[in-house]
Amino acid sequence: MRKSPISELTYWTLIHRLVMPAFQTPHLEGRHTLRRLFDSWEEPADSSMILCRHEHGKPRLVLYAGLLHGITVGSTYEIFGMDLSDLQHPLATVTIDKVETFTSLLVPLDPVFLVSNKNRRVWYARLLKASGANFHQYPAE
């Protein structure tokens, strides 16, 4: 957290970057959770960003959204270092490899991305292209 300038932190990113013991689960509620810390005049965070985490040594990111949120296998996401997308360009492009009820697995198109950022755990994803659900229509008999 010390590496992030305070002007680039929102209340959400602050909570996501806390290192907490397993028995503590901080929660953040309210209408101004996307505001930047101590600055209500700046543009708030992008509400389309979804939290991701990189598990040490794994070749993927975990997206904290799944089937219940409409996530589909094959969708493409852009990865950002912060939830303030106006300050940056995407750092990587990933695709959904597996979808579970509440989480999904993201695989980078360029595997070097995770190797070169191996010490960073918190990322944010924004949908670039959704893969459609497969609907089959059969002729009525």
* DSSP-derived secondary structure letter, 12: H
Which residues, 6 or more positions from 119, have their beta carbon under 8 angstroms from its beta carbon?
Answer: none
pLDDT of residue 106: 96
List pLDDT tens digits, range 89-99: 899 999 999 99
List pLDDT tens digits, range 16-67: 666 777 777 777 776 766 666 566 555 555 557 888 999 888 999 999 999 9
Cα torsion 34, 40, 41, 42: sign:
negative
> Which pLDDT band holds residue 118 (cuts at 50, 70, 90)?
confident
Task: Give yes or no for residue 1 having a pLDDT over 50.
Answer: no
- Take residue 25 and report the two structure tokens written for it: 């689960």
The CATH number that domain 6-129 falls under is 2.40.30
Nearest to 78 by CA among 55, 95, 99, 54: 95
118 phi/psi in degrees, rounded to 5: -65, -25
3-state secondary structure of 70: coil
Most confident among 10-24, 89-103, 116-130 (mean pLDDT): 89-103
pLDDT of residue 102: 93
